[in-house]
Amino acid sequence: MRTQVGIIGAGPAGLLLGHLLHLEGIDSVIIESRSRQYIEERVRAGVLEQGTVELMTEMGVGDRLHREGLCHEGVQFSFNHQRRRVDFKQSCGRTITVYAQHEVVKDLVAARISTGRPLVFDAEGVSIEGIDSTRPTINFTHNGPDRIIECDFVAACDGYHGVGRPAMPESILRIHERAYPFAWLGILAAAPPANHELIYANHDAGFALLSMRTPEISRLYIQVGTEEEIENWSDDRIWEQLHLRLASDGFKLTEGKVLQKGITPMRSFVAEPMQYGRLFLAGDAAHIVPPTGAKGLNLAAADVKILARGLSRFYKSGRQDLLDRYSAVALRHIWKAQRFSWWMTQMLHRFEDDNTFDRLRQLAELDYFTSSPAAMASLAEQYTGLPVLMD
C-alpha cells in the first residue's frame, strides 16, 4: 500500500489530521489498533475550546456538534461555601462547548468513511521503519496477513502508549513530566446536571467538579488518593462526597443511576522534539495535561492544524520550512496550555504536604481571580483557548 501520509491512531488527532489532509487533496491511510466500537464508546474529555469548534465547523464536520453541543458562556468556582462565576463572554468575548470526545470521534469516523479514504481498525503488531529516509514504512498485520504502508511522512497520533514516540532515537528525546499525588474518581450518571455550567470546587475534603455530557447525563469527579481502588468506592460513598464538596449557597446536587465509574491518575507530560526525520508526533503521543484545564483534545486539534499546514505547503510547493518548524511552533502553544493546566490544578486540589499557609493562599487566589476583572479576563482567555500562533 502506498500513500502520502501514514497516520497511526484513530483518535481525535489522527482523524482530524486525516480530514484536514483530505480537504487539501492529500492522500492518507489511518490505522487503529482498537475496534471502531471501542473508540466510539471510550469516555474521555468533553470541553471544546471555541477554536476547536471553529475548526470542526470549517472542516464541515460540525453539524451535529452545533445541534447537540452545550454552549457555555462561563464557569463557576465553589470555595468557602460560596460560588462565584467567571463570565467568558463578558471577559473575552468567547465561549466553550460541552461535547464529549467520543461524539467528536463518531463524527470524524463517519466523515472519514464518506471520503472513501482508507481507515483500518484492529491493526496488530504496528511498527515504524525508515523515519530518517524519504520513504518510511508502517508495518502491521490485519486479519492475518502482514501489511506494509509506504509513506512520504508518518504522523504518530497513537497516544502515550503508542509506537510513535519510542521509534524516535533516545539520544534526541527529552521528557518533561510531573506526577501529581492524587487522582480523579469520575462517574457518568443518568441525572440531569444540577447546574447549567461547570462548577470547580475547592473544599477542605478535596477537589470536586460538576460537568455534564447532555441535558440528561452528568459527569462528576472527586479528588482521591493515587492508591485508591474503585472497589472501595460505593455509589453511596461517591454521592456523599460530591454533596459535601459541592455544597454552597443552597446548591443541591441531582443524583441518578451511576452508569460508569473509574479512577484516573493525574500527570503533566511533554516530549520534545515532536519530530524526527519523516516522523511527527501529535496529541497524547507528545503531551498529556491534567484534565483540570480541559486542554487535552484541544491541544491535539492545535497540533494537527499546525502539521496539516506544513504538509499542505510541502505538497503544493515542495517547501519544507513549516514542517521543519512544526515542533517549535506546537511546543510554544503546548507549554502555555501546560502552565494553565498546572495552575488550575495546584489552585483547586489539596496536596498531602499542605499546611495552613498553603490552604489560605489557595483561598486568597480564588478570591482574587473571581473578583478582579483583569484576572477573570486572563482565565477566560486561557480557558476558552489561546490562539495557535503559526509563526
Catalytic residues: 72, 200, 291, 295, 383
Chain centre to alpha carbon of residue 209: 17
331-to-22, 266, 345 alpha-carbon distances in Å: 25, 21, 20
Task: Indicate the helix (H) or strand (E) that contains 276.
Answer: strand 275-276
Grid cell for residue 93: 468575548
Contacts of 58 (CB under 8 A, 6+ apart): none
Residue indicated by cell numbers 480541559? 294
122 near 35, Cβ under 8 Å?
yes
214-to-69, 86, 101, 149 alpha-carbon distances in Å: 8, 22, 13, 40
Among 257, 258, 240, smallest CA distance to 203 is for 240
For residues 80 and 371, what is the distance between their CA atoms, to the nearest angstrom? 14
For residues 72 and 87, what is the distance between their CA atoms, to the nearest angstrom? 9
Neighbours of 98 (CB within 10 A): 22
Please, what's the b/e burial string for 144-157 (b: 16 or more CB within 10 A of its CB; e: otherwise)? Answer: eeebebebbbbbbb
For residues 319 and 321, what is the distance between their CA atoms, to the nearest angstrom? 6
